[in-house]
Structure 1
Amino acid sequence: MASNGSPSSEYVTLVSSDGFEFVVLREATMISSVIKGMLDPNSKFAEERTGRCVFEEINGMVLEKVVEFFHYWYKNREKEDVPDMEIPVELCLELLMAADFLGLDKAT
């Protein structure tokens, strides 16, 4: 099994602007067109080689909720009638900005 961070690893590390690190199932992050592009084996991005994506634009509280969404989406991606995910009102604006930045509003 490949170690975390290698291109063939099934996990990637997402790092927030304030240094929080989240180890996430690689396949769950593929809903983000931005992360998908960063981790593309044909890309020349360092993230593809290291399996580590640093987001200077997203703080730890927001990235934690984004990671929660990645897992929620992955777990429920083939289900119907999925309940809404809980979103704290105080994070709504920042989450919308993060979702836009990460390309989560695009059809996959």
Structure 2
Amino acid sequence: MSASSSAANDAKEAKTYGGCEGPDATYVKLVSSDGHQFFIKKVPKQRYSPTAYELALTSGTIKAMLSGPGQYSENESNEVNFREIPSHVLQKVCQYFAYKVRYTSSATEIPEFNITPEVALELLMAANFLDC
């Protein structure tokens, strides 16, 4: 394998992953109040289609933070810090994003999204803040 083909393969792999840096990032990093990091899918605008719904844009708040150049420092690194949302709640929020994208406009039977009573109030407050 030549050096140029190795470099081309490395570039192809890097492009496939996408990372969470810059405007064309594939992922968004959400950081909880206790420092846990969650990576969720964010398809760049030029690749958007109704069937490739963006998990990050399930939240109106995250969508607003990531749109518009220079409005928030988060949109350069695609990292959003939540000082008031602990990891056990943010984890459930991320699970809900995937659930909503999976079952929106689904013809299959939609299973119940389970929420334990212990986390229900915190989750309600987070959902209200995140507009989801």
Query: TM-score, length-normalised on structure 2?
Result: 0.73
- Give the structure with the larger helix fraction: 2
**Aligned partners of 1:52, 1:97: CA distance in 2, in Å?**
21
Select the structure with the greater relative contact order (CA < 8 A; seq sep ≥ 6): 1
Match of 2:116 among 80, 88, 96: 88
Which secondary structure does the structure 1 equivalent of 2:128 belong to?
A: helix
For this pair of structures, how many residues does the alignment match?
104
Q: Which runs of structure 1 show a deviation greater than 3 angstroms over 4 or more consecutive aligned residues?
A: none
Match of 1:51 among 75, 78, 94: 78
Equivalent residue, structure 1, for 2:99: 72
Which secondary structure does the structure 1 equivalent of 2:55 belong to?
A: helix
Equivalent residue, structure 2, for 1:12: 28
Instruction: Structure 2 unaligned segments of length 5 or more: list them.
Output: 1-14, 43-53
**Aligned partners of 2:101, 2:21: CA distance in 1, in Å?**
20
State the identity as a percent: 37
Q: How does 1:21-36 map to 2 (within 5 A)?
A: 21-26=37-42, 27-36=54-63
RMSD: 1.4
Equivalent residue, structure 2, for 1:100: 128
In terms of Rg, which structure is larger?
A: 2
Shift of 1:15: 0.3
Deviations 1:14-62 (A, max 9, x none): 0000000001012112111100000104452111111000000100000
Instruction: Structure 1 unaligned segments of length 5 or more: list them.
Output: none
